[in-house]
Amino acid sequence: MKHVCTIGIGSNINPEENIENALKILREGNDVVAVSAFIKTAPEGIPDQPDFLNGAAKVVTDKDMNAIKDYLKEVEDRLKRDRSVEKYGPRSIDLDIVVWDGEIIDQDYYQRDFLKKVVDEIAWISSQ
Protein backbone atom coordinates (compact mmCIF):
# COMPACT_ATOMS: atom_id res chain seq x y z
CA MET A 1 0.00 0.00 0.00
CA LYS A 2 1.25 3.47 -0.87
CA HIS A 3 1.28 6.19 1.75
CA VAL A 4 1.73 9.92 1.27
CA CYS A 5 3.52 11.83 3.98
CA THR A 6 4.95 15.27 4.41
CA ILE A 7 8.23 15.38 6.27
CA GLY A 8 9.47 18.47 8.06
CA ILE A 9 13.18 19.03 7.46
CA GLY A 10 15.42 21.27 9.53
CA SER A 11 19.11 21.88 10.18
CA ASN A 12 21.41 24.47 11.68
CA ILE A 13 24.74 22.67 11.26
CA ASN A 14 25.92 23.00 7.64
CA PRO A 15 22.23 23.23 6.74
CA GLU A 16 22.49 23.51 2.95
CA GLU A 17 24.73 20.44 2.71
CA ASN A 18 22.85 18.35 5.27
CA ILE A 19 19.43 19.14 3.80
CA GLU A 20 20.66 18.32 0.30
CA ASN A 21 22.08 15.01 1.55
CA ALA A 22 18.88 14.19 3.43
CA LEU A 23 16.80 14.78 0.29
CA LYS A 24 19.20 12.65 -1.74
CA ILE A 25 18.85 9.77 0.73
CA LEU A 26 15.05 10.16 0.87
CA ARG A 27 14.93 9.92 -2.94
CA GLU A 28 16.85 6.62 -2.87
CA GLY A 29 14.01 4.63 -1.33
CA ASN A 30 10.94 6.77 -1.86
CA ASP A 31 9.22 8.97 -4.41
CA VAL A 32 9.80 12.59 -3.38
CA VAL A 33 7.04 14.40 -5.28
CA ALA A 34 7.57 17.92 -3.93
CA VAL A 35 10.02 19.98 -1.89
CA SER A 36 9.07 23.30 -0.35
CA ALA A 37 11.13 26.44 -0.17
CA PHE A 38 13.37 26.59 2.88
CA ILE A 39 12.95 29.32 5.49
CA LYS A 40 15.61 30.64 7.85
CA THR A 41 14.30 30.67 11.41
CA ALA A 42 15.74 31.76 14.73
CA PRO A 43 16.36 28.93 17.19
CA GLU A 44 13.81 28.36 19.96
CA GLY A 45 14.69 27.39 23.50
CA ILE A 46 18.45 27.86 23.17
CA PRO A 47 19.06 31.18 21.43
CA ASP A 48 22.89 31.01 21.38
CA GLN A 49 23.23 28.87 18.25
CA PRO A 50 23.02 29.37 14.48
CA ASP A 51 19.67 29.97 12.77
CA PHE A 52 17.84 26.97 11.37
CA LEU A 53 16.90 26.31 7.77
CA ASN A 54 13.47 24.64 7.65
CA GLY A 55 11.34 23.18 4.88
CA ALA A 56 9.33 20.12 3.96
CA ALA A 57 9.17 17.28 1.45
CA LYS A 58 6.12 15.39 0.24
CA VAL A 59 6.96 11.71 -0.10
CA VAL A 60 5.14 8.66 -1.44
CA THR A 61 6.32 5.48 0.25
CA ASP A 62 5.49 1.80 0.61
CA LYS A 63 6.60 1.93 4.25
CA ASP A 64 4.06 2.07 7.07
CA MET A 65 4.25 4.88 9.61
CA ASN A 66 6.44 3.03 12.11
CA ALA A 67 8.82 1.93 9.37
CA ILE A 68 9.14 5.46 7.99
CA LYS A 69 9.79 6.83 11.50
CA ASP A 70 12.60 4.29 11.92
CA TYR A 71 13.88 5.10 8.45
CA LEU A 72 13.97 8.84 9.22
CA LYS A 73 15.99 8.11 12.38
CA GLU A 74 18.42 6.08 10.27
CA VAL A 75 18.76 9.00 7.82
CA GLU A 76 19.42 11.35 10.75
CA ASP A 77 22.04 8.93 12.08
CA ARG A 78 23.73 8.72 8.66
CA LEU A 79 23.96 12.51 8.70
CA LYS A 80 25.52 12.44 12.17
CA ARG A 81 22.59 13.75 14.21
CA ASP A 82 23.87 14.09 17.77
CA ARG A 83 21.07 12.90 20.05
CA SER A 84 23.00 13.81 23.21
CA VAL A 85 22.41 17.56 22.82
CA GLU A 86 19.48 19.31 24.50
CA LYS A 87 16.06 19.10 22.85
CA TYR A 88 16.28 22.51 21.21
CA GLY A 89 20.01 22.35 20.60
CA PRO A 90 21.89 22.43 17.31
CA ARG A 91 21.41 19.55 14.89
CA SER A 92 22.80 18.40 11.59
CA ILE A 93 19.36 17.26 10.49
CA ASP A 94 15.88 16.91 11.95
CA LEU A 95 13.27 14.87 10.08
CA ASP A 96 9.70 14.57 11.37
CA ILE A 97 6.48 13.31 9.85
CA VAL A 98 4.03 16.22 9.88
CA VAL A 99 1.24 14.86 7.66
CA TRP A 100 0.43 11.18 7.13
CA ASP A 101 -2.11 10.21 4.46
CA GLY A 102 -3.77 13.63 4.66
CA GLU A 103 -3.90 13.80 8.47
CA ILE A 104 -1.78 16.25 10.44
CA ILE A 105 0.01 14.20 13.09
CA ASP A 106 2.59 16.71 14.36
CA GLN A 107 1.07 19.39 16.59
CA ASP A 108 4.02 21.68 15.78
CA TYR A 109 2.15 22.34 12.52
CA TYR A 110 -0.33 24.42 14.53
CA GLN A 111 2.28 26.08 16.76
CA ARG A 112 5.08 26.99 14.38
CA ASP A 113 4.20 29.35 11.55
CA PHE A 114 7.22 28.38 9.45
CA LEU A 115 6.22 24.71 9.54
CA LYS A 116 2.62 25.45 8.56
CA LYS A 117 3.87 27.65 5.71
CA VAL A 118 6.22 25.07 4.17
CA VAL A 119 3.78 22.19 4.59
CA ASP A 120 0.90 24.18 3.10
CA GLU A 121 3.12 25.22 0.18
CA ILE A 122 3.36 21.62 -1.06
CA ALA A 123 0.05 20.25 0.26
CA TRP A 124 -1.82 20.82 -3.02
CA ILE A 125 0.83 19.10 -5.18
CA SER A 126 -0.49 15.78 -6.43
CA SER A 127 1.19 12.60 -5.31
CA GLN A 128 -0.12 10.63 -8.29
Residue 86 has pLDDT above 90, yes or no: no
Q: Is the pLDDT of residue 40 over 80?
A: yes
User: Within 12-87, where are the H helices?
Assistant: 15-29, 65-78
For the cut 70, the answer to whether the pLDDT of residue 31 exceeds it is: yes
CA pair distance 54, 9, nearest whole angstrom: 6
Please state, in angstroms and rounded to a whole number, the distance separating the CA atoms of residues 24 and 30: 10
Catalytic residue check, 81: yes
- State yes or no: pLDDT of 65 exceeds 90: yes
Annotation says 96 is catalytic: yes
- Active-site hit among 78, 81, 83, 106: 81
- Per-residue pLDDT at 127 exceeds 70: no
Per the annotation, the verdict on 101 as an active-site residue is no
Please report how the helices 15-29 and 65-78 are oriented relative to each other, as an axis angle in degrees rounded to 10: 140
Q: Please indicate, yes or no, whether the overall pTM of this predicted structure exceeds 0.85.
A: yes
Q: How far apart are CA 6 and CA 122, in angstroms?
A: 9
> Residues 96, 101, 106, 108: which is the catalytic one?
96
Distance CA 59, CA 35 (A): 9
> Is the model's pLDDT at 122 over the cut of 80?
yes
Task: Specify whether the CB–CB gap between 13 and 109 falls below 8 A.
Answer: no
The fold for domain 3-123 equals Alpha-Beta Plaits (3.30.70)
* pLDDT recorded at residue 51: 96
**Residues 82, 94, 112, 120: which is the catalytic one?**
94
Please identify which of the residues 91, 106, 112, 120 carries the catalytic annotation. Answer: 91
